A = this chain, B = another copy of it.
Amino acid sequence: MQTSLKVGLIGAGRLGKMYGQYLAHQVPGVELAAIADCKTEVAKAVAGELGVAKSYARHEDLLDDREVEAVAVVTSTSTHKQVVMDAARSGKAIFCEKPISLTLEDAAEMIELVAAKGLFFQMAFQRRFDPGYLAAKKKLEEGAIGDPVIFISISRDPYAPPIEFCDPKVSGGLIADMGVHDFDAARMYMGEVARVNAIGGTLAYPEMKSVGDIDNAIVDLVFQSGALGAVQLSRNAVYGYDIRGEIWGTKGSIQIGYDRQTPILMFTRDGISHDAVPYFMERFEHAYLAQIRNFAEHVRQGLPPSITGADAVAALRISLAANRSLRERRSVDMVELAERQTA
């Protein structure tokens, strides 16, 4: 039997901890060897809970651990560049949460170093591993709906992040933080984007204006093929987490998604009702697990990464073009944003 891949987890917040649980118990052929988090007590607590012996406050210390062969980077976006560059210098295989970075320059540097070192680098876009998004891709490829003509994507968060996170300098803002998922899905089904229109506003949480973020946006896409797209982003889905898509074709349509967590339906004087999906970890539980398993399997078997840095850059470029369109109240052609340009 093959020896286990020793993985280090960098970032043990909500999402990081979830990856930690998967890596500890549910990814065949993997051993979760070490955990780093800038909050020492968080790193220790999660390590204890998961039965992991080593925990660190500094990611550099984890990277110095020669036993660790691969790392999962689940820190906040603004630190991705530093952590990934350090991981690359230490020669680890790298799994990186989305978005890759806040700027195209940073992304380009990260990708160049990883490439120069010949390392394995895989981005996270968990929708690519979701049973619904996968089934839709299969149906599309089978020709079930003819040629795809429009892609519609709706992403709605149940509430806004803490105000300090909304600062576009930290998160990239609504469009980059949330929209990259939709832009990545758009590329998966429809190919590359040629032009972008965005409108948006701070409509539900006036306090967000203080940090310069919006809470609702609509981003239209014109694909290179001539096909169209519409992405709707929102932070005020008070009923839960609502992620849906539609691929609209010449011979039919595929709708992706559901809005239900528990398979019971209530009939009372108040009408007929069911619950909604609370948040992303419930909605994409299977997808996150499949994604980290895919990473481990590809590293162990020497396969190429399923989602590349170039994919991450492409989604980021659309986000940045949308932000520019929003600011300048005009259509923005993708060619306006060179691969490395700041938006």
Q: Which residues of A contact B (CB under 8 A)?
A: 1, 25-26, 28, 51, 131-132, 135-136, 139, 144-145, 147, 149-150, 152, 195, 197, 199-201, 203-204, 216-218, 220, 222, 226-230, 232, 234, 236-239, 242, 248, 250-260, 262-276, 329-331
Contacts and interface: CB of A to CB of B under 8 A. Distances in A.
A222 B200 CA distance: 8
Nearest to A236: B250
A188 B195 CA distance: 31
A227 B256 contact: no
A152 B220 contact: no
A199 B226 contact: no
A339 B300 CA distance: 57
A283 to B, nearest CB: 10
Contacts of A227: 201, 203
6 contacts: A132-B262, A147-B203, A147-B204, A195-B329, A218-B220, A270-B270
B268 A270 contact: no
Contact of A267 (B250, B264, B272, B276): B276
Residue from A139, A147, A217, A220 with most neighbouring chain B CB atoms (10 Å): A220
Contacts of A248: 216, 234
A205 to B, nearest CB: 9
